[in-house]
Amino acid sequence: MEDVLPPTLLTGWGRTMPSRAVVVRPGSVDDVVTTVATAGPRGVLARGAGRSYGDAAQNGGGVVLDLAALSDVEVLDDGDVVAGAGAMLSDIVPLLLERGRFLPVTPGTRFITVGGAIAADVHGKNHHVDGSFGAHVRWVDLVTADGDVRRLAADGPPDDVALLAATIGGMGLTGVLVAARFATIPAPTPWVRVQTRRARDLDALMALMVEGDDDHRYSVAWVDGMARGARLGRGVLTRGDHARPDEAPRRGRAAAPLAAGPPRLDVPPVPVSPLNRLTLAAFNEMWFRKAPRSRDGEITGIAPFFYPLDAVGGWNRLYGRRGFLQYQFAVPDAGADVVRVSLERLAGIGAPSFLSVLKRFGPGRPESQLSFPIAGWTLAIDVPVRTPGLAAALDDLDGHVLAAGGRLYLAKDSRAVPATIAAGYPGLPSFRALRADVDPHGVFVSDLSRRLQL
Amino acid sequence: MTDALDRPTSILVLGGTSDIALATVRALRSPALHRVVLAARPSAGREEAVASLTADGVAGVTAVDFDAAATESHEGVLAAAFATGDVDVVLVAFGVLGDQQEFEDDPDLAVEAAQVNYVGALSVCLRAARHLTGQGHGSLVVLSSVAGERARRSNFVYGSTKAGLDALASGLADALHGSGAHVLVVRPGFVRTGMTTHLEPAPLSVTAEQVADAVVSGLRRGSTVVYVPAAMRVVMSGLRHLPRAVFRRLPI
Ligand SMILES: Cc1cc2nc3c(=O)[nH]c(=O)nc-3n(C[C@H](O)[C@H](O)[C@H](O)COP(=O)(O)OP(=O)(O)OC[C@H]3O[C@@H](n4cnc5c(N)ncnc54)[C@H](O)[C@@H]3O)c2cc1C
Ligand SMILES: NC(=O)c1ccc[n+]([C@@H]2O[C@H](COP(=O)([O-])OP(=O)(O)OC[C@H]3O[C@@H](n4cnc5c(N)ncnc54)[C@H](OP(=O)(O)O)[C@@H]3O)[C@@H](O)[C@H]2O)c1
């Protein structure tokens, strides 16, 4: 039975730009087909857990499908997962760890859905080794605009492969994912062996990453976005690999590594954001000092390693009523300087940013026209939208990103202009052509697709 | 969709040649803004408005025919603007000031003014509200006036039209609560624009640019009412409570 909720105001994780939609909770794939078939002029869009930052999972005036009921998960003998698109990664992780496996790719939060992981073609700390989520998808079931339920296999006929490719990273604009099968990777223990290196400035940090990332499955650097001058770009690089059984702590503590329960701390709604230049500068300073200059062989749990922020429920509310955005771009190696320029520019306007994240990307998936990763660097910076001068600074940075042959991440965007996206994604015309073919009446639309004219 | 940095991507101005409206469009100008529709009666002034906004770097400025008094044509004008794409801000800026003495001498003139200021505005506000709620987001900015808050001897006909409009817009603001659409009622005092060039500026007079800035910050904050200048709120609250016998004799 499908459930139609009263019209609801929806926002993304950044809590900016609300729009109202009718949220429908289908109880079955048939319900999804019915909803798609009876779409009104404002169309239909699937929404996962709403962890994208901007307006990607909104469809003002239209219908938004919440697939929470399509959340069955099965781990097959070969380790593959078959899951409903509404299944949360947080529910899949424990099942996998029990079998000595892990997600092939996980973002920095486990509270996202399989549908959201595929539609945004999410990347993790292992992109330089394993690629993005889409690289591990065996097949998906996609409800298309004509009401078909199509199983699109990675090794299927060319038309299916092309539609699957466009759906990976396609931000829900090719149809509604209802189920998927994806490969997993071995994880002999629920523990991670971590190497930590503290770098006093950006050059040192980037040099470390270029040299040693290939020796580790996971690598990410947390950058102090508020340090300026000689300390610009100082950061802490953590790299890791799944720990072997002989490295795992003795029993007793064995429950700790996952801590898959609900967040340990919850942030209440705050009228005035406690995050400002002073508190954040102090936090970044403390966190930098706390990190060891160099440490090897530390054994840590899956949750603190992959999902440090998940321990604080609703931390996005800390940014106050007006919300925040995340600026995330990717540039080829030749454009590495854009990382410096971005940190300088945002430090220059005094943007109070929490820890920023720097990562190296391996090769991208050009066949997935809107998939974000391209080989090189990616930087993600959280900034409250109330920061004076932010619009001009980011517009300016867009220019640098594009000049370097880079692009912005649609799952994080809440302020780019259509031309910036078109210039960053040369595959956009081919994505549009495919969409015109499979969805000639434009049933699948989002606030993001309208705003950016995708 | 107005972006996370409060930058609208499209604006529809009803009363597209109004000085206050044009200043507001300029204040909302950004790289994100790519469509501005100026709905106004055909005139050289309208062409000039398109040209000057375009020269100021506003992208996608076009004009469409619109007569506030011709309510039967309003749905067509609004539907066409919304059919081209979502409209993030609808600015209702048309209005006539008229002359109190002439209104009293020739009530037909007063009816005409009410036809524009109140009936025309009622027509577009209700229609715009439907379109905005239909898209689940967007703002309706309504140029009211402090003149509507307490009618003065010297311009109570105009004041009464604005009182009606203000009541309508305030009611709409409540009606649209939770719809994703939002109403901002703007209550300026004396603004030095084309409407008032023939008059001696009153105390606390402001420029069209000051009204525009107040609109921008009102939109950013999600306010329902803004006074321009802000001090007008206090002045009006004082005036509202003056005994009638005293109020009548004030030289305002
Ligand atoms: C703390 C935090 C850390 C993050 N870290 C990372 C990171 O390291 N790497 C990374 O890549 N991303 C990261 N993200 C972003 C997040 O992983 C993506 O935005 C992801 O898409 C969110 O999934 P979701 O289920 O919440 O989807 P939503 O945000 O609800 O939707 C995202 C998009 O997917 C589409 N979609 C969702 N479900 C379906 C479906 N069933 N069928 C078709 N389309 C669908 C929606 O229409 C929308 O366009 C992070 C986000 C947060 C909040
Ligand atoms: N100026 C002030 O002191 C003041 C104070 C408070 C409130 N306001 C209000 O602010 C708004 C904007 O005024 P303004 O100061 O910017 O003055 P303005 O420049 O004179 O603008 C008034 C606009 O109304 C338009 N208009 C009049 N009759 C119309 C009709 N029948 N159909 C379509 N458009 C019509 C005019 O267009 P044409 O070019 O076709 O004539 C003109 O563009 C008005 O609602 C006004 O009442 C002004």
Distance from CA of B117 to the nearest CA of A (A): 30
Residues enclosing ligand 1, CB less than 6 A?
Answer: A 13, 45-52, 56-57, 67, 85, 107-109, 112-113, 115-116, 119-120, 122-124, 171-172, 176-177, 309, 411, 446
Task: Say which of B32, B134, B178 has its CB closest to residue A9.
Answer: B178
| Residues B55/B60/B66/B71 CA torsion (nearest 10 deg) | -140
Catalytic annotation present for B227: no
Segment among A55-64, A153-162, B195-204 with least mean pLDDT: B195-204
d(CA B160, CA B246): 20
ipTM over 0.90: yes
Q: What pLDDT sits at residue B184?
A: 98
Q: What pLDDT sits at residue A178?
A: 98
Segment among A31-45, A233-247, A316-330 with least mean pLDDT: A316-330
Tokens of A289: 């000092």
- Which among B66, B118, B158, B227 is annotated as catalytic? B158
pLDDT of A2 > 80? The answer is no
**Which atom of ligand 1 is nearest to A411's Cα?**
19
Q: What pLDDT sits at residue A226?
A: 87
pLDDT of A261 > 60? The answer is no
Q: Is the CB of B110 under 6 A from ligand 2?
A: no
Compute CA distances A178 → A71, A232, A394, whole Å.
9, 45, 36
pLDDT, one tens digit per residue, over A347-366 is 999 888 877 999 999 999 99
In chain B, residues with a C-beta closer than 8 Å to the C-beta of A61 are 133-137, 180
Q: How many angstroms does the Cα of residue B82 sit away from the middle of ligand 2?
A: 23
Mapping DSSP to helix (H, G, I), strand (E, B) and coil, where does residue A278 land?
Answer: helix
pLDDT of A269 > 70? The answer is no
Q: Which helix (H) or strand (E) holds A361?
A: strand A356-361
pLDDT of A62 > 90? The answer is yes
Interface contact A20-B178, CB threshold 8 A: yes
Q: What pLDDT sits at residue B243?
A: 87
pLDDT, one tens digit per residue, over B85-135 is 999 999 999 999 999 999 999 999 999 999 999 999 999 999 999 999 999
d(CA B89, CA B37): 11
pLDDT of A260 > 70? The answer is no
In chain B, residues with a C-beta closer than 8 Å to the C-beta of A17 are 1-4, 137
Q: Is the CB of B41 under 6 A from ligand 2?
A: yes
Interface contact B2-A415, CB threshold 8 A: no
Mapping DSSP to helix (H, G, I), strand (E, B) and coil, where does residue A357 land?
Answer: strand
b/e for A307-320, b at 16 or more Cβ within 10 A?
A: beebeeeebbbbbb
In chain A, residues with a C-beta closer than 8 Å to the C-beta of B216 are none
Q: What percent of chain B has pLDDT over 90?
A: 89
Per-domain boundaries in chain B = 10-247
Under the banding of pLDDT at 50, 70 and 90, the label for residue B247 is confident
Task: Say which of A7, A18, A415 has its CB closest to residue B5.
Answer: A415
Q: Which bound ligand lies closest to the C-alpha atom of A414?
A: 1
Interface contact B136-A54, CB threshold 8 A: no
pLDDT of A255 > 60? The answer is no
Average pLDDT estimate for A298-322: 88
pLDDT of A267 > 80? The answer is no
Q: What pLDDT sits at residue B66?
A: 98
Q: How many angstroms does the Cα of residue B143 sit away from the middle of ligand 2?
A: 9
Q: Across-strand partners of B186?
A: B143, B226
Task: Say which of B4, B135, B178 has its CB closest to residue A17.
Answer: B4
Interface contact A14-B136, CB threshold 8 A: no
Average pLDDT, chain B: 96
Under the banding of pLDDT at 50, 70 and 90, the label for residue A431 is very high
Q: How many domains would you assign to chain A?
A: 1
Average pLDDT estimate for A210-238: 93
In chain B, residues with a C-beta closer than 8 Å to the C-beta of A54 are 4
Task: Say which of B4, B7, B136 has its CB closest to residue A19.
Answer: B136
d(CA A106, CA A315): 19
Q: Indicate the DSSP class of residue A312.
A: E
Q: What pLDDT sits at residue A256?
A: 52
Which residue minimizes the CA distance to atom 1 of ligand 2? B191
**Residue with tokens 């604005």, as numbered in its chain:** B162
Segment among A105-119, A288-302, B64-78 with least mean pLDDT: A288-302
Q: Is the CB of B17 under 6 A from ligand 2?
A: yes
pTM attached to this predicted model = 0.95
Tokens of A141: 């079931």
Q: Is A138 on the interface with B (CB under 8 A)?
A: no
What class, spelled out in words, does domain B10-247 have in CATH?
alpha beta
Under the banding of pLDDT at 50, 70 and 90, the label for residue A186 is very high
Task: Say which of B4, B136, B178 has its CB closest to residue A61.
Answer: B136
User: Which residues have CB under 8 Å from A279's CB, separation 6+?
Assistant: A352
Which residue minimizes the CA distance to atom 48 of ligand 2? B191
CATH number of residue A291's parent domain: 3.40.462
Q: What pLDDT sits at residue A257?
A: 56
Segment among A5-9, A290-294, B92-96 with least mean pLDDT: A5-9
Under the banding of pLDDT at 50, 70 and 90, the label for residue A273 is confident
DSSP letters spanning A77-92: TTS-EEEETT-BHHHH
User: Which residues have CB under 8 Å from B226's CB, separation 6+?
Assistant: B184, B185, B186, B187, B214, B215, B217, B218
In chain B, residues with a C-beta closer than 8 Å to the C-beta of A323 are 4
Q: Does A83 or A7 have the greater pLDDT score?
A: A83
pLDDT of A136 > 90? The answer is yes
Side chain identity at residue B247, one-letter code: F
Which of A52, A394, A451, A452 to probe by mutation at the B interface, max B CB count within 10 Å? A451
Whether A209 is in a domain gets the answer yes
Average pLDDT estimate for B210-230: 97
Segment among A317-321, B95-99, B107-111, B220-224 with least mean pLDDT: A317-321
Whether A232 is in a domain gets the answer yes
Interface contact B31-A417, CB threshold 8 A: yes
Under the banding of pLDDT at 50, 70 and 90, the label for residue B73 is very high
Half-sphere exposure of A379 (CA within 13 A, CB side): 32
The number of C-beta contacts closer than 8 angstroms across A and B is 76
Beta strands A376-384; A8-10: pairing state: unpaired
Q: What pLDDT sits at residue A262?
A: 53
- Residue to substitute in A32, A47, A378, A444 for testing ligand 1 pocket (most ligand atoms within 8 angstroms of CB): A47
Average pLDDT estimate for B178-207: 95
Average pLDDT estimate for B39-63: 98
Q: Is A450 on the interface with B (CB under 8 A)?
A: yes
Q: Does A109 or A254 have the greater pLDDT score?
A: A109
pLDDT of A28 > 70? The answer is yes
3-state helix, strand, coil in chain B (%, to 5): 50, 15, 35
- Residue to substitute in A15, A25, A31, A52 for testing ligand 1 pocket (most ligand atoms within 8 angstroms of CB): A52
- What spatial distance separates the first Cα and last Cα of chain A, rounded to whole Å? 33
In chain B, residues with a C-beta closer than 8 Å to the C-beta of A414 are 3-5
d(CA A169, CA B51): 41
Whether A80 is in a domain gets the answer no
* Domain assignment of residue A307, given as a range: 191-414
